[in-house]
Structure 1
Amino acid sequence: MAMQDRPMAGMSMPQSASNSGMMGRDHAMPPGMNMPRTAFSEAEMGMHRSMMMATDVNTQRTWARKMIAHHRGAIAMSQVLLESDATDTEARRMAQAVIDAQTREVAELESWLERHPA
């Protein structure tokens, strides 16, 4: 069973949540963080938003939710590489390995959350 209140569906947030907070409507970087935009920017910002919002009733559940967001960010960044023009076979192999391993870890963390409600 999926977590009902997680802000992640392909690492994007519901419209109501994405229009508030530090990132603002245009998903710009917070003041003082003028970072160059890259192919990874959307995945990185989504991961950071999701991690910041991943809280729960106790430290263990909060940790699990933050790790899920972190792993989903790694998956999203790896997908960016695989969908790019990258030709290095080792980099592509590592990106796929990250997707495979972190997908399993997300499932394990979600299962733990289901077995440990509050």
Structure 2
Amino acid sequence: MRTTKTLLAALLATGLAGAAVAHDEAGHKGHQPTATEASGDHQAEMQKMIADMMPAPNDPASTKDFKKADMQMMHDMHVAYTGNPDVDFRTHMIPHHKGAVAMAQVALKHAKDPATKAMAQKIIDDQEKEIAEMQAWLQQNAKKDGGR
């Protein structure tokens, strides 16, 4: 439950960070939502997303495992920004890639199609390599100039 509350707070904060500009079907700028309207829309979207990720008793085992991986990834992606785009890119992509690995592991466990399993294994191999590369870069570069 604590993870869910933390995730909800993070997602709501993220949703409050920006305002959207409405466009009509022709792509023209229309009504620009107020901060209250935008935050309300984002809050509702975030709440629905979290509700959709919560395991339900009648979910198949694979769905429960995918939802668990999704929730963990969303929780882990709540990382403070440093103002350094090189660092921020990596510190936010690492948990994203770890989430992809977790989802691929669920596919390996539950999928029946050999092509799905092969793709899942490729994702694990590729993402783990990229995670290691990003972590190594951070070890060598993130401390330079105070991380900026």
Among 99, 109, 114, the residue aligned to 1:83:
109
Looking at structure 2, the residues matched to 68 and 55 of structure 1 have their Cα atoms a distance apart, in angstroms, of 14
Coordinate RMSD, CA, aligned = 2.6
Q: Is the 2:90–2:138 contact (alpha carbons within 8 Å) kept by the matching residues of 1? A: yes
Q: Distance in 1 between matches of 2:120 and 2:80?
A: 25
Aligned partners of 1:43 and 1:76 also within 8 Å: yes
Amino acid at match of 2:52: M
Alpha carbons 1:54, 1:69 under 8 Å: kept: no
1:57 Cα deviation from its structure 2 partner: 5.5
Q: CA deviation at 1:35?
A: 1.0
TM-score w.r.t. length of structure 2? 0.57
Task: Name the residue aligned to 2:123.
Answer: 98
In the alignment, is residue 59 of structure 1 matched against residue 76 of structure 2? no
Kindly provide the amino acid, as one letter, of the partner of residue 106 in structure 1. I
Number of residue pairs matched? 98
CA change 1:54–1:109 in 2 (3 A) is: farther
**What's the counterpart of residue 132 of structure 2?**
107
AA aligned opposite 1:35 = D
Contact 1:71 1:106 survives alignment (8 Å)? yes
Using the alignment, how far apart are the partners of 1:114 and 1:89 within structure 2?
37
CA–CA distance in structure 2, aligned partners of residues 40 and 77 of structure 1 = 6
Identity %: 34
Is 2:7–2:74's contact at 8 Å kept on the other side of the alignment?
no
How far apart in 2 are the matches of 1:79 and 1:99? 8
Contact 1:50 1:69 in 2 (8 A): yes
Higher RCO, 1 or 2 (CA under 8 Å, sep at least 6)? 1
- The one-letter amino acid of 1:18's match is T
Distance 1:104 1:90, change over 3 A: same
Aligned structure 1 segments of 4 or more residues deviating by more than 6 angstroms: none
Unmatched tracts of structure 2, length 5 or more: 10-45, 56-62
Tell me, yes or no, if the aligned pair for 2:101 and 2:128 is still in contact at 8 Å: yes
Shift of the 23–94 alpha-carbon distance from structure 1 to 2, 3 Å rule, reads same
Matched letter for residue 133 of structure 2: E
Structure whose CA Rg is larger: 2
Residue deviations 1:7-36 (CA, integer Å, cap 9, x gap) = xxxxxxxxxx73752448xxxxx6333316
Higher helix share: 2
Question: Given the two structures, how large is their TM-score scaled by the length of structure 1?
Answer: 0.70
Correspondence for 2:48: 32
